[in-house]
Amino acid sequence: MVDVLPLVEARLSTALGEPDARAAVTFLGTDRIEVLRFHEEGVVRYATLGMSAQPMADPTAMLADPVKGPRAELVLSVRAGLADTDKALRALAVLAASPQVEGVVVVPGASLDVGGPLWPGAPFTSVLVGEPGGLVEDLELDAPMDPVRFLPLLPMTPNEAAWKRVHGAQALQERWLTNGTDLRDPARTSVPLD
């Protein structure tokens, strides 16, 4: 069985440059999750490392397949210097551990709630999981393993999260696009939802 994490870290470094900081969090009964920080021209990116060590298992399956199944890491991008976004590290580690802890399969279009502000003073308490393949290309692994997908996280205000539950992820993304919402702005307000 191949250790995918060195390959994942190499893919992140190829796409985002060398990380300038890293933090590790271990939750009882789970594997260690690291969060790497990358700076690039006024944008700070946080990427999880460890979520893809095991495939995400369907919570209804009797046994989790140790080889086959979707694998992912999470990437959050915000404008640098506008908020204390480094405090988001723990929230990101919690989200990355959720497949192991709660048995969820994280897929594009899903909402992930962090149970409080994403970082101190943040107007966001949840994130929308975006489509992979834009910022960091999928990492193909040897068959029968599924590729590792790098899923962008789009912060949502509580009002946006509630609106998304009713209207769906696509409708919220269209609303953001129509209004020219800067999803990297750590202090942005909710998009108009009327």
Please give the average pLDDT of every successive group of 10 residues along the chain, which has 194 residues. 89 96 84 93 95 85 78 96 90 92 90 93 96 92 93 97 96 96 95 87
CA-based Rg of the chain, rounded to a whole angstrom?
16
* Listed residue (120, 168, 161, 139) closest to 47, CA to CA: 139
pLDDT score, position 113: 93
Asked if 47 and 75 count as a contact pair (C-beta separation under 8 A), the reply is: yes
pLDDT at 42: 93
What pLDDT is recorded for position 41? Answer: 87
* pLDDT of amino acid 1: 55
Q: How far is CA 117 from CA 19, 50, 79, 157, 188, in A?
A: 24, 23, 17, 9, 13
Q: Which structure tokens are listed for 146?
A: 């599924």
38 three-state secondary structure? strand
Please classify residue 70 by burial: count the beta carbons closer than 10 Å to its beta carbon, then call 0-12 exposed, 13-18 middle and 19+ buried: middle
What's residue 31's pLDDT?
Answer: 83
